[in-house]
Structure 1
Amino acid sequence: MTYRLAVQRMIIERKAKDFFSSTTFARPRPHEVLPEVVYRHNSLIRRKLGNVDLHLQENKAVSLGIAAPLVNSVLIQPGETFSFWKLVGSCTEAKGYREGLVINHGRADSGIGGGLCQFTNLLHWMVLHSELTVVEHHHHGDLDLFPDFHRQIPFGSGTSIIYNYLDYRVRNDTDQAYQFLVTTTDEHLCGELRAERVPATKFHIREEDAYFHEADGNVYRHNKVVRLTRDKRTGLVTSKEQIIENNALVVYDRSLINVPILPERPRPEEPDELLAAVTA
Structure 2
Amino acid sequence: MNSNNVPKPNKRSNLRNILGREYYSLKRQLKWLQMSREFAKPDANVKLAHSIMRHRSMMLRPLREVEMYLQHNKITNLRLAIAPIHGIVIRPGETFSIWQRVGRPTAKRGFLEGLVLHNGRIEKGIGGGLCQLGNLLYWMALHSPLTITERYRHGFDVFPDINRTIPFACGATLAYNYIDLQLRNDTDDTFQINLWIDEEYLNGAILSDRESEFEYKIYETDHLIKMQPWGGYTRHNRIWRRQTSLIDGLTSETLVTENHAIMMYNPLLTA
TM-score, structure 1 normalization: 0.86
Task: Name 1:253's counterpart in structure 2.
Answer: 266
Which among 165, 168, 172 is matched to residue 178 of structure 2?
A: 165
Deviations 1:206-240 (A, max 9, x none): 1222233334343332222110011112334x211
Report if aligned partners of 1:52, 1:108 keep a CA contact under 8 Å in 2: no
Which protein has the larger Cα radius of gyration, Structure 1 or Structure 2? Answer: 1
> 1:76 aligned to 2:74?
no
Give the corresponding residue for 2:27: 13
SS at match of 1:71: coil
Which moved further from structure 2: 11-20 or 53-62?
Answer: 11-20
Looking at structure 2, the residues matched to 95 and 18 of structure 1 have their Cα atoms a distance apart, in angstroms, of 21
Aligned to 1:265: none
1:94 and 2:115 correspond: no
**How far does residue 9 in structure 1 lie from its aligned partner after superposition?**
2.8
Structure 2 residue identity aligned to 1:221: R
Task: Provide the rounded CA distance (Å) in 2 between the counterparts of 1:247 and 1:18.
Answer: 30
What 5-or-longer segments of structure 1 have no aligned partner? 259-280
Deviations 1:155-214 (A, max 9, x none): 111111111111111110000100100001121100000001112111110122223333
Distance 1:17 1:231, change over 3 A: same
Cα distance, 1:63 vs structure 2: 0.5
Contact 1:30 1:72 in 2 (8 A): no
Q: Is it true that 1:26 corresponds to 2:40 in the alignment?
A: yes
In structure 1, C-alpha distance between the alignment counterparts of 2:73 and 2:164, rounded to whole Å: 21
Work out whether residues 75 and 177 of structure 1, in 8 Å CA contact, stay in contact via their aligned partners in 2.
Answer: yes
1:37 maps to 51
Is 1:191 equivalent to 2:211 in the alignment?
A: no
Deviation of residue 115 (structure 1)? 0.7
What's the CA shift string for 1:244-265, capped at 9, x where partnerless?
222322221334443xxxxxxx
Please give the secondary structure, in 2, of the residue aligned with 1:18.
helix
Match of 1:175 among 175, 188, 191: 188
SS at match of 2:38: coil
Please give the alpha-carbon distance, in whole angstroms, between the structure 1 residues aligned to 2:43 and 2:35. 23
Q: Does 1:67 align with 2:81?
A: yes
Q: Residues 137 and 167 of structure 1 are in contact (CA less than 8 Å); yes or no, is this contact kept in structure 2?
A: yes
2:216 corresponds in structure 1 to: 203
For 2:234 and 2:116, the matched residues in 1 are separated by 22
Mean Cα deviation higher: 91-100 or 241-250: 241-250
* C-alpha distance in structure 2 between counterparts of 1:31 and 1:183, whole Å: 18
Aligned to 2:160: 147
Q: Deviations over 1:59-103 (max 9, x none)?
A: 101100111121100000000000111111110111111111111
Q: Distance in 1 between matches of 2:163 and 2:157?
A: 15
Q: 1:86 & 1:221 partners in 2: Cα distance?
A: 32
User: 2:114–2:127: 8 Å Cα contact kept in structure 1?
Assistant: yes
Name the Cα RMSD after superposition.
1.7
Is 1:235 the counterpart of 2:234? The answer is no
| TM-score, structure 2 normalization | 0.88
SS at match of 1:149: coil
Report % sequence identity: 38
1:86 is paired with a residue whose SS is helix
The answer for unaligned runs of 5 or more in structure 2 is 1-14
